[in-house]
Amino acid sequence: MFELVRNSEMPLVDQICERVTHLVRHGQLTPGTRLPSIRKLARQVSASPFTVVDAYDRLVARGVIESRAGRGFFVTPRRLSAPLVAIEALEEPGSDAMALARLCLANSADIVAAGSGFLPENWLLETTPAAVLTRLARGRRAQAFLPCPPQGLPELREQIATRLLQHGIAASAANIVTTYGASQAFDLLARILLSPGDTVLVEDPGYFVLFEQLRAHHVRLVGVPRRADGPDLAALEAASRAHRPRVFFMQTLVHNPTGSSAEPPNCHRILSLAEQYGFAVVEDDVYGDLYEGRAVRLAQIDALRHVIYVGSYTKLIGPALRVGFIAADLGLVTRLIERKVLSVLSGSTLLEYYVYEVLDGGRYKRHVDQLRTRLARMRRDARAALSAAGLEFDAEPGEGMFLWGRVPDSSVSVDALVRRARERSILLARGSVFSPAGGCKQWLRFNVAHSTSAPLTQFLRESLRAA
């Protein structure tokens, strides 16, 4: 039927699968044809019968062939064909924010991902090495495959609590609930804390997916302008007085998209307003580990009374993991666990052990130190390259993985610029998506890891000069 290549990099099992599939696809083996018996094919291709059993099993699993009891293996008859639609031929996403989220996650190697929210995978693979998986496979075999308690793996929650204590946040493992990334944390919190018609304060600009999540709960978003030293306090007070909000969602450190961090006095004032006007603060600290130096977080000075703290390891360990957490007071923890059970039943023990192993091994700190150094260099380089191409940046440098830049010429339509960029396989994130009121129209968010590429800077230079 065919011959196998000895000494090939491709195992014999895969070679057999490939050859049979090829013969079926090209009509040389027609539907219903009986395949050679296991022993016969093994003799023909000089392989072990075990190899052929393995290959036939895989071909059955792939639907190429089928096994008929006592009669052998046959090419699958075409009883039924799949609906005639192009795969992925889906409608356009309903909103710009949704479109951007999906493009960031689409995972294409062929685009310049200047608008993406993720670090390049080769930056992350250094921390998430094969060794962790292999260790999981061996050492923790049974535990890593058990159901996960809905609150989260106790070992991981202990480890997170230890890290919070190091940040000065008084939390124990009992205060922590794990989530599938920060996104699930926001969704669970919105479902518990908010009712339709409530007013919620968010930062302007701020994290765009959060805005869409909150809108889906039919609440009213009121933006509080974000400054270099944190949220605008006068605006926060005015909004608190006028709207009696339920919750203020904010990022204290290494804010997305601006890279700014709130000053400690600003933090104190926010908490005073929260007390005075009776709102909760959800502190999104997804990027906080990228902050240089001694940080002050709201959760540290508030001790989880008005503050609900959200963290995640998805951004800095790996986007494939989807492990985040909420730290909150015990009353809220009970409600969060119940809501989590009703949404997803529980987390994944495998993912939570994975994060635990990375944190426990001491590898994480070194990794974050390296990321910070690398990001600082890339921020300088990207800022220089983008400035030369005609973008403008605020004087304050900021930190983390993003630069927040302005197209100075107001006659340039940033919407049109983003559309034209997409035709050249350049993903740009336009500022208006980051503004709850659709402001920031002349702004763009750049991922510094992807923003020094020649096609990007050349495209921007041409487009901004032409205008």
| Residues in 156-195 that interact with its own copies by CB under 8 A | 159, 161-163, 165-166, 168, 170-175, 180-181, 183-184, 187
Q: Taking CB under 8 A as the rule, does residue 57 contact its own copies? A: yes
Residue from 72, 361, 397, 439 touching its own copies (CB under 8 A): that is 361
Shortest distance in whole angstroms from residue 335 CB to its own copies = 9
> Which residues 420-459 are close enough to bind its own copies by CB under 8 A?
none
From the number of C-beta atoms within 10 Å of its C-beta (0-12, 13-18, 19+), residue 369 rates as exposed
Query: By three-state DSSP, how is residue 248 classified?
Result: strand
Shortest distance in whole angstroms from residue 95 CB to its own copies = 8
Query: Distance (Å, rounded) from C-alpha 72 to C-alpha 67?
Result: 6
Shortest distance in whole angstroms from residue 242 CB to its own copies = 27
Residue 208, both tokens: 């765009």
Nearest to 319, CA basis, from 451, 123, 154, 112: 123
For the chain, helix, strand, coil in percent to 5 are: 45, 15, 40
Q: Taking CB under 8 A as the rule, does residue 294 contact its own copies? A: no
Nearer to its own copies, 322 or 430 (CB): 322
Residue from 62, 218, 377, 419 touching its own copies (CB under 8 A): that is 62
Residue from 68, 71, 79, 294 touching its own copies (CB under 8 A): that is 79
Q: Phi, psi (5° rounding) for residue 101?
A: -60, -45
- What's the CA angle centered on 97, arms 335 and 251, to 5 degrees? 55
Nearer to its own copies, 90 or 466 (CB): 90
Shortest distance in whole angstroms from residue 63 CB to its own copies = 4
Query: By three-state DSSP, how is residue 27 classified?
Result: coil
Contact 297, 252 (CB under 8 A): yes
Query: Distance (Å, rounded) from C-alpha 448 to C-alpha 446?
Result: 6
Could you list the beta-strand ranges (E) of 242-313.
Answer: 247-250, 280-284, 307-312
Contact 135, 144 (CB under 8 A): no
Q: Which segment (93-101, 249-257, 278-286, 406-414) binds its own copies by CB under 8 A? A: 93-101
**Pairing relationship of beta strands 230-231 and 429-430 according to DSSP bridges:** unpaired
Shortest distance in whole angstroms from residue 407 CB to its own copies = 28
Nearer to its own copies, 52 or 391 (CB): 52
> Which residues 111-140 are close enough to bind its own copies by CB under 8 A?
118, 121-122, 124-125, 128, 130-131, 133-134, 136-138
Residue from 36, 49, 72, 154 touching its own copies (CB under 8 A): that is 154
> Which residues 192-211 are close enough to bind its own copies by CB under 8 A?
209
Nearest to 281, CA basis, from 338, 218, 201, 173: 201
Q: Taking CB under 8 A as the rule, does residue 364 contact its own copies? A: yes
Q: Taking CB under 8 A as the rule, does residue 363 contact its own copies? A: yes
**Pairing relationship of beta strands 230-231 and 220-227 according to DSSP bridges:** antiparallel
Nearest-Å Rg of the Cα atoms of the chain is 27
Q: Taking CB under 8 A as the rule, does residue 107 contact its own copies? A: yes
- DSSP per-residue string spanning 36-86: PPHHHHHHHHT--HHHHHHHHHHHHHTTSEEEETTTEEEEPP------S--
Nearer to its own copies, 387 or 425 (CB): 425
Nearer to its own copies, 130 or 466 (CB): 130
- Say how many residues touch its own copies, by CB under 8 A: 109
Query: Distance (Å, rounded) from C-alpha 250 to C-alpha 201?
Result: 8
Contact 250, 270 (CB under 8 A): yes
Residue from 1, 4, 98, 412 touching its own copies (CB under 8 A): that is 98
Shortest distance in whole angstroms from residue 130 CB to its own copies = 4
Q: Which segment (92-100, 200-208, 275-283, 426-434) binds its own copies by CB under 8 A? A: 92-100
Shortest distance in whole angstroms from residue 8 CB to its own copies = 15
Shortest distance in whole angstroms from residue 341 CB to its own copies = 5
> Which residues 214-243 are close enough to bind its own copies by CB under 8 A?
216
Query: Distance (Å, rounded) from C-alpha 310 to C-alpha 285?
Result: 6
Q: Which segment (146-154, 276-284, 413-421, 444-452) binds its own copies by CB under 8 A? A: 146-154
Count the Cβ atoms, other than its own, within 10 Å of residue 307: 27
Q: Taking CB under 8 A as the rule, does residue 81 contact its own copies? A: yes
Nearer to its own copies, 90 or 454 (CB): 90
Nearer to its own copies, 146 or 238 (CB): 146
> Which residues 314-353 are close enough to bind its own copies by CB under 8 A?
318-322, 330-331, 333-334, 337-339, 341-351
